Structures are given as C-alpha cells and as structure tokens.
Structure 1
Amino acid sequence: MSIQTLQDLYIDQLQDLYSANRQSKKVTERLQQKAHNNDLQDALKRGVTGIDDGIEAVEGLLRQHKADPKGEFCQGMEGLVKEAKAHAIDADIADSDVRDASIISQYQRMTHYALAGYGTVVAYARRLGLEDDAKKLQVCLDNTYSGDREMSQLAEGGINRVAA
C-alpha cells in the first residue's frame, strides 16, 4: 500500500495493530498456561479477552474503511513475541515465581507496544475527524492501560517479592 495521506497512514497503522493483536493473543494464551500464580493466570485470561475485543474493534474499523485487516504484518510485535517465548515460555526457569515475574515483564512489553499503537491511531482518527473511530479506539486504549496497571499491581503487590 502506498502511503500518501494521513488517511493512508491511519489505515496502515490499523492493519499493523490488527496484526500485533493477533500475534500477542497467541503468546498471551501460552503465557497464561505457564503462569503459576492464580491471580496472574486470571489477569492474563482477561488480557486475552481484551486483545480479542481489540481485534474485533480494529477489524470492524478496517472493514468500514474498505481495507483488508490482514494487509500488514507487524514485525515489531513479532520480535516481542520471540522475546516472550525466549524469556518466559521456553526459558529454563526452575522457580515458578521467577517465571511469573518474567511473564509479567514480557506481557507488559507487548502491552506497551499496543499502547503506542492505540495512542497513535486515536490521534490520527481525531485529526481526520473520525470521531466514532476515535471513541472505539479510545476504549481499546483505556482497556490496555487498565491491563498494564493490573500487571504492575500484581508484580509490585507480591509476585516480585515472592520471586526475590
């Protein structure tokens, strides 16, 4: 796709976000399976649901704009997924509490990528006068922030202490 206008860039970034969400969902499901702490498992399960909601919202917006949701492959998330596998899922970590701390770290890295992506498309939608798009994307951004804060609370509220 040739990017000539802010509208073109907006569609490109939505496609990138769609790809990123699909990739992060798969690895988040695997992180949930590896998690030891019940609260962490529950938070990751909610994370998968939130990612699903984001996929649905972004896909719907892309279809409204007559764009193929699968028009882009997010290499940034691909790298973060590889890191999550290497440092949490497939890592040789004998202590399950230390693995939980690593799972949070890897999940938050992916979440921060999503925060940047959602923040960007919200700003573009507003600039383009696409207020309905911006409202839907703002919900996704707010939910992503909420999930990130929950992970920080889990880490600081006990998982890191137990891991230490």
Structure 2
Amino acid sequence: MESLKDVYIHQLQDLLSANRQAVKATRELADAATADPLTHALERGVAGIEDGAAKLEKLLQPHAAAVGGAQCKGMEGLVREARSHALREDFAVDAVRDAVIITQYQRMAHYAIAGYGCAAAFASQLGLTEDVDVLRAMLDAAYSGDKTMSQIAEENINQHAA
C-alpha cells in the first residue's frame, strides 16, 4: 500500500467481505431467536447489512477495485464465535440464548461501526464527499441497530434470562 487511497480501498473491500459474512450469520441468529422483537430486529439487520454490501460495491466501482476475493479475518472470527456461542451451545432457557444472540450480534455490529468510521475518515481526508455521506449514513444505521439490540436486551430479554 502506497497511499491513503490504497488503504481506503482496502478498507472498503474488507467491509464488503465482513458484510457478506455477517449477513449469513445474522440470518442464522434470526432463525435461532425466540423473542419476536429480537427476531424482527435481526431480520431488519439482515436487510440493512445487505443494503450496506450493495452500497460498498457501488463505492468500489469508481476505483476499479475488486469486489470479491479477500476474506475479512476479523469478521470471520466474530462469525465463528457467534455460531459457537449462540447457535451450537445448549441452553435450558430460551431467553438466555436470546441474550447471547444479542451479544454476538452487537460484537459484529461494533466491528462494522469501527470500519465505517475509519472509512468515512479516510474518504473525508481524500475529499470524497459523496463517499463520506454514504459511509456516515451506514455508520448511523449500524449505531441504530446496536441501540435497538440494547433496548431489546434491557427491556425484555435480560430480565427473562435472569
């Protein structure tokens, strides 16, 4: 990598890979969730992640950058953890599984938040104002999804899990 633009493009590719992995895992988490508000929030999360992947592909187009290939190792680890802890474990109480599902989803969301924030900062420095707007909107959507999960946990799931 020779420039901030190279780093920016790599960050977009990494985020695209992360989104592609996260959408599959989030579908699995939605299928395993038992509380209706959680299931619906995860389904909205799937739609949001898919939308984010499409936006990342569009951001990469003007740079003639590949939209496939590299595997985001960070999200790979988070997905592996989500499957291990939320899907493969045995739970005596459904609400406990739901609490773990929220935890694992939020870990993936926080990874996206960090990535979108960094990419937006790079785009800003590079003078890519349209990219900045798109990335900040994606960042806001990720924050919103995280906040929704916290509300579901605090208003319902954690009480039943306790």
TM-score by length of 2: 0.98
Which amino acid counterpart does residue 155 of structure 2 have in structure 1?
G
Decide which of 75, 87, 90 is 1:89's aligned counterpart: 87
Which amino acid counterpart does residue 113 of structure 1 have in structure 2?
Y
Counterpart check, 1:64 vs 2:62: yes
What number of residue pairs does the alignment pair up? 162
Gaps of 5+ in 2: none
What is the Cα deviation at residue 63 of structure 1?
1.4
SS at match of 1:82: helix
SS at match of 1:123: helix
Large movers: runs of 4+ above 2 Å: none
In 1, the alpha carbon distance for the partners of 2:91 and 2:61 equals: 43
Aligned counterpart, 2:15 = 17
SS at match of 1:108: helix
Counterpart check, 1:28 vs 2:26: yes
In 1, the alpha carbon distance for the partners of 2:92 and 2:26 equals: 20
Aligned counterpart, 1:42 = 40
Identity of aligned residues (%): 54
What is the Cα deviation at residue 64 of structure 1?
1.9
Aligned counterpart, 1:156 = 154
Gaps of 5+ in 1: none
Deviations 1:110-138 (A, max 9, x none): 00000000000000000000000110111
In 2, the alpha carbon distance for the partners of 1:19 and 1:94 equals: 34
Deviations 1:57-97 (A, max 9, x none): 00111112110111421000000000000000111112111
In 2, the alpha carbon distance for the partners of 1:90 and 1:60 equals: 36
The 10-residue stretch of structure 1 (93-102 or 24-33) with the greater mean CA deviation from structure 2: 93-102
- Cα distance change, pair 16–124 in 1 and its aligned pair in 2 (3 A): same
> What is the CA RMSD across the aligned residues, in angstroms?
0.7
Aligned counterpart, 2:6 = 8
In 2, the alpha carbon distance for the partners of 1:41 and 1:10 equals: 34
Which amino acid counterpart does residue 110 of structure 1 have in structure 2?
M
Deviations 1:13-33 (A, max 9, x none): 000000000000000000000
Structure 1 contact 12–72 (Cα < 8 Å) conserved: no
Aligned counterpart, 1:134 = 132
Counterpart check, 1:53 vs 2:55: no
TM-score by length of 1: 0.97
